[in-house]
Amino acid sequence: MVLADLGRRINSAISSLNRSPTIDDKQLDAALKEICTALLESDVNVKLVASLRSRVRTKVKAALEGGADKAKEAQRRNVVQKTVFDELVSLVNPGVEPYKPKKGQSNIIMAVGLQGNGKTTTCTKLAVYYQKRGFKSCIVCADTFRAGAFDQTRQSATKAKVAYFGSYTETDPVVIAAQGVEKFRKERFEIIIVDTSGRHKQEKDLFAEMEQISAAVKPDMTILVLDASIGQAAEAQSRAFKEAADFGAIIVTKMDGHAKGGGAISAVAATQTPIIFLGTGEHLSDLERFAPEPFISKMLG
Ligand code: GDP
């Protein structure tokens, strides 16, 4: 189920509760069941859904019991609506502030993630985003694993008028990353984005390489790039990357497609790391800032 449909299902569960003359346990449970089924069908992690359900139930009951006799039915409904909204927001809000790049200094950003998740595309989108906001931005292509990765960076960076660095001959990604970052630091670039290799699945080699690149370039922020269609595999994958690369932010790509999105959202809770942007298309400007409340408001329409 795509996120817009998820929003519609949650809204309809709340409105059917609103239509009933009173809200008793049975009606509350029926509405919660519908909301939780919708979340599960969107690939939100099973444990997260279970704990959301019990928290909503406890909070709503406490609020209703607090002033149940006197409270008007409309107020009771507001309690349900507000509690569900707050819980959905907290699902995508780990309460951690991501790194904020500063002008007048070199901010090193390293992107990690599995192959095909949209890492290279996202690196160029990020460079464009910051360049538009007055940061002198560039990309270092340290992906020596995928044939054609440097060509892809070269083409998209050229199109976006963003400086880039890479090599057709050097095979050690750690050397390329270190050289690129050193060169751009000297040239006083403010946003230096290091694109790293992906693999088709988590492999020891990939994690060892990420650790070495990270040690060489000392990123101010490491970003995990996750495809929105990852599904229930998100938890294990994001945990594994967190251990190896200790990323401080997540970008979820391909939110424009038919992906359910709930899996990628679950990565926030699994790693207590904030989502900072959503990729919403193949064009370089298809990058949206992510903030928990507006995201949930928009989803619920
Ligand atoms: P990488 O292997 O992780 O570097 O992945 P790429 O950047 O090469 O992207 C893989 C494919 O996903 C390409 O065809 C991109 O155009 C596409 N892609 C990346 N981000 C998005 C997005 O937000 N939306 C859509 N629809 N496609 C995307």
Secondary structure of residue 115 in the 3-state scheme? coil
Q: Is 151 in the pocket of ligand 1 (CB under 6 A)?
A: no
Tokens 């988590």, residue? 202
What confidence tens digit (pLDDT) does each residue in 274-289 have? 999 999 999 999 999 9
Pocket probe for ligand 1: among 121, 227, 229, the residue whose CB has the most ligand atoms within 8 Å is 121
Instruction: Tell me the C-alpha distance between 48 and 31, whole Å.
Output: 17
Q: Which of 253, 275, 277, 284 to mutate to test the pocket of ligand 1 (most atoms within 8 A of CB)?
A: 253
Rounded to whole angstroms, how far apart are CA atoms 181 and 183? Answer: 5
Does pTM top 0.90 for this prediction? Answer: yes
What's the DSSP call for residue 98?
P
Tell me, using a 6 A CB cutoff, whether residue 257 lines ligand 1: yes
Per-residue pLDDT tens digits for 33-74: 999 999 999 999 999 999 999 999 998 888 777 654 555 666
**Contact call for residues 117 and 226 (beta carbons, < 8 A):** yes
Distances (CA, A) of 290 to 88, 132, 248, 255: 14, 17, 14, 12
89 Cα to the center of ligand 1, angstroms: 27
| Cα 128 to ligand 1 centroid, rounded to whole Å | 16
pLDDT tens, per residue, the chain with 301 residues? 788 889 999 999 988 888 877 778 888 899 999 999 999 999 999 999 999 999 999 988 887 776 545 556 667 778 888 999 999 999 999 999 999 999 999 999 999 999 999 999 999 999 999 999 999 999 999 998 888 899 999 999 999 999 999 999 999 999 999 999 999 999 999 999 999 998 776 688 889 999 999 999 999 999 999 999 998 889 899 999 999 899 999 999 999 988 888 888 889 999 999 999 999 999 999 999 999 999 999 888 8
Per DSSP bridges, beta strands 275-279 and 249-253 are parallel
